């Protein structure tokens, strides 16, 4: 949201994700980091990989059920392979396996959209004896259940991490460090109880509305009236 003056804060979930990803890269393993929307899973994964493996990381993402042909082509472009994608599957597979001899970290975002055949194909690439591939599956609703329903894949997952809502004690600790608008506010607990509910995306949106409101009103500090104005802009579902 291009939130000026916002800072990356080391939540417990982010620190755990960093450690899980570090261990997975060392073991060239598969891991799954999942959770509901807005809890910070994608941010935790991206921030960790920017630190741990910025040059090795490649990302793929689908918004609808892809075929294995779609997956091959997405991998072709994500890996930066030269030339045209091979016309025949056996040639395509040979090319991808050859590319994955070099260490790579593949992030499969919104993994719940992958089909059984796509999961089988990723397992096939990872199982190759010459592969140096680490796979990070991330996703929201249904991601955990989808991977769990594939026994051959589930048995190979090195670590599972669910990223949930921040508890209130953590909110009180990290939100003042997240943005200076909260540095003197004594309304953090109220905001979390009434609107944010430990959801970091909700906190970011509320903070953005507050910075706009402070500027428009010519104020320097947050008060209860401005706070409620800010989170009145969230959907009723988020505020429930």
Interval 105-134: pLDDT, tens? 999 999 999 989 999 999 999 999 999 999
Return the minimum-mean-pLDDT range out of 14-23, 83-92, 218-227: 218-227
Q: Which residues, in sequence order, are CB contacts of 44 under 8 Å at separation 6+?
A: 11, 13, 14, 17, 18, 33, 163
Mean of pLDDT values over 160-169: 95
pLDDT at 158: 95
- The b-or-e profile of 94-113 (16+ CB within 10 A means b, else e) is ebbbebbeeebbbbbbbbbb
Identify the pLDDT of residue 153.
Answer: 86
In the predicted model, is pLDDT for residue 41 greater than 80? yes
- Given pLDDT bands bounded at 50, 70 and 90, which one contains residue 237? very low
Lowest mean pLDDT among 28-32, 67-71, 82-86, 234-238: 234-238
pLDDT tier, 1 (very low <50, low <70, confident <90, very high otherwise): low
What was the pLDDT predicted at 240? 40
Most confident residue range from 56-65, 92-101, 149-158: 92-101
Looking at residues 214-232, what average pLDDT do you find? 90
Domain ranges of the chain: 12-162, 168-239
Does position 88 have pLDDT exceeding 50, yes or no?
A: yes
> CA gyration radius for the chain?
21
Q: What's the mean pLDDT in 166-189? A: 91
Angle at 45 between CA 43 and CA 48, to 5 degrees: 100
Q: Which CATH number fits domain 12-162: 2.40.40.20, 3.40.50.720, 3.40.50.300, 3.30.565.10?
A: 3.40.50.300
């Amino acid at each position: 949201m291009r939130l000026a003056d916002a800072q990356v804060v080391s939540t417990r979930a982010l620190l755990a994700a960093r450690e899980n990803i570090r261990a997975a890269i060392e073991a060239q393993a598969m891991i799954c980091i999942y959770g509901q929307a807005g809890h910070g899973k994608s941010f935790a994964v991206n921030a960790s990989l920017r630190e741990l493996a910025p040059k090795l990381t490649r990302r793929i993402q689908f918004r609808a059920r892809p075929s294995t042909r779609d997956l091959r082509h997405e991998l072709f472009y994500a890996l930066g392979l030269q030339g045209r994608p091979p016309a025949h599957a056996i040639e395509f597979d040979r090319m991808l396996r050859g590319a994955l001899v070099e260490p790579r970290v593949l992030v499969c975002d919104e993994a719940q959209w992958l089909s059984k055949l796509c999961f089988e194909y990723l397992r096939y690439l990872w199982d190759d004896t010459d592969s140096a591939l680490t796979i990070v599956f991330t996703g929201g609703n249904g991601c955990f259940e989808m991977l769990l329903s594939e026994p051959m894949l589930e048995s190979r997952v090195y670590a599972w991490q669910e990223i949930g809502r921040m508890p209130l004690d953590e909110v009180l600790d990290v939100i003042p460090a997240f943005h200076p608008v909260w540095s003197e506010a004594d309304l953090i607990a109220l905001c979390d109880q009434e609107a944010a509910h430990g959801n970091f995306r909700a906190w970011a949106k509320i903070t953005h509305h507050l910075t706009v409101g402070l500027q428009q009103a010519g104020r320097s500090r947050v008060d209860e009236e401005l706070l409620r104005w800010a989170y009145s802009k969230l959907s009723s579902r988020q505020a429930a």
